[in-house]
Amino acid sequence: MPTASLGQERSCPCDSGGVIHQLATERLAPLGNRASPQHPNGLVAAAAAVRGAAVAISGLIFTAGLALVVWTITPAAGADAGAAMRAGVAGFALANLMPITVGGTSLTLPPLLLTGLIIALLTSVARHGRYLPHGRAQEALAVLVSAGTYGLIVAAATRGFGPPEAVPAVSVWTATGVALCAVAVGTLGRGSAWRSWWRAALPAWAHTGARGGAVGLGVLIAGGGLALAGALIVHFGSAVSVAALAAPHWTDGLGLALLGIVYVPNAVIGGAGYVTGVGFEVGPGTYSPFASSTVELPAVPLLAATPDHSGTSSVGVALLLVPLVAGGLIGWRVVRALGTREERVFAAGVASAAVGVGLGALAWIASGGVGAGRWAHLGSPPLLTAAATFVEVGVAAVAVAALTEARSVPWRAAMVGMDDGEDAEVLDDVVDTAREGDELSDEEADPDLDEADKGVTEADDLAGADEDVTEADEASDDAQSPAPEPDHETRP
């Protein structure tokens, strides 16, 4: 019947199910597992140039548009929208660490929030798109071409579309330097040929030290942000009063707030210098946990976070624990990653140096000023900040790395199981002597073993011969024995 037939057809298993399942599994495999082909150098260079140009044009449009928004909501900005857009171009140059001159006043304090956005864009696009570099030569080519293209477009745009004589020609190289560092970080990151070469060429403690340095620098920046946030909360009333004095209308206040936001990272770096004990400068005023020299500051709400009294600050002294915490975290990481105390100390030293150099470089980038007079310098002194950070973080990191498990973990790998004062070479000589003795004893024992083997073979041959003789005697005895007589009584 049709019903039975339909039921039988339903019950029959489909043989193609397993094949379809396998095909579906292969079809859903991630594309990242496929090996990408190596492209010609020309295509790699062209793609890198396109990425650099795209970031330069995007950054220029963003800053000019932001300046246009501020001009729109600020009544006191004037009636010329073109002037506002040219000011945005000048701000883009300032974000690329170029000093600018506006109205005869020089401005060298970069808005690090815009600088961070540019660096993030350059870093993110370095490993995305088609015709990516393969191998160390192509990666270096892509970095140089992308950074050069970006710097060339930024220099041409800021010199051509910015205010007249706002950007000096001798300062346009800074955009190329920013792009070179950012693109190098993005290109030479995880999965790159340079990273693999670096990991193979340097010892394990160098890798661990570099990662620990990134952790320590992050802790110090977080400590600076915490200090800034706490100071703004404490002086919130003063900040509001300053904002009301500088911008009576709410739209002017919004523009002032946007101006303060782009300089928040600069204040965070200054806070990081403060927690190291070095402090920072705002014109003629100096501020540190141990002593502060206060002055009348400009009407900028962000500057309300500065200490308002002279002398030692108990909160500032307590914040000096931040570098020690950073060093402790570095020491804890190297203890977990490395097996000997020598490697741990080396890694802790590398990490401390990386933290000091990194924070000093950030302090140098974040510092600047307005004009050439009273407010010519704002920020932390770079060299002193780097030296103090290296010492403070290094003491804690090296102490943790050297003293943790000091009795159970050897100083070097070759000293495992040795008493104090013994040299590792003595142990190597003992091992070599023992191996030579074993080889000599084996050579002396070889003739004796050969003779024993020969004796055993001869004994086996004699035993076999005796067995053959015994079998022959038994066969001859059987042949000589008489045949049995028949039994007549058993017949019927």
Q: Are 334 and 209 in contact (CB under 8 A)?
A: yes
Give CA–CA dist 178/222, Å, rounded. 23
| Backbone CA torsion sign across 396, 402, 408, 413 | positive
Three-state secondary structure call for residue 368: strand
What is the tens place of the pLDDT at every residue in 449-469? 444 444 444 545 544 544 444
Q: Are 74 and 328 in contact (CB under 8 A)?
A: no
Q: Edge to edge, what strands does the sheet with 292-293 contain?
A: 292-293, 285-287, 280-282, 378-379
More confident residue, 413 or 481: 413
Q: To the nearest whole number, what is the mean pLDDT of the chain?
A: 79
> What does the pLDDT read at residue 296?
86
- Maximum average pLDDT range among 31-45, 62-76, 155-169, 324-338: 324-338
What is the tens place of the pLDDT at every residue in 335-390? 998 888 899 999 999 999 999 999 999 999 999 999 888 888 999 999 999 999 99
Q: Which residues pair with 105 in a beta bridge?
A: 102
What are the structural domain ranges in the chain?
39-201, 202-413
What is the tens place of the pLDDT at every residue in 386-404? 999 999 999 999 999 999 8
| Backbone CA torsion sign across 34, 39, 45, 51 | negative
Cα 199 → chain centroid: 12
Give CA–CA dist 130/29, Å, rounded. 20
What is the tens place of the pLDDT at every residue in 190-228? 788 888 888 888 899 999 999 999 999 999 999 999 999
Number of Cβ within 10 Å of residue 210's Cβ equals 15
What is the tens place of the pLDDT at every residue in 101-131? 887 888 999 999 999 999 999 999 988 888 8
Q: Which residues pair with 282 in a beta bridge?
A: 285, 378
Query: What torsion, rounded to 10 degrees, do the Cα atoms 237, 239, 241, 247 define?
Result: -150
User: Comparing C-alpha atoms, which of 335, 328, 348, 331 is closest to residue 409?
Assistant: 335
> What does the pLDDT read at residue 280?
94
| pLDDT above 70 for 81 | yes
pLDDT band at 172 (very low <50, low <70, confident <90, very high): confident
Environment class of 228 (CB within 10 Å of its CB; exposed 0-12, middle 13-18, buried 19+): buried
Which pTM was predicted? 0.74
| pLDDT above 60 for 26 | no
Three-state secondary structure call for residue 101: strand
| pLDDT above 60 for 427 | no
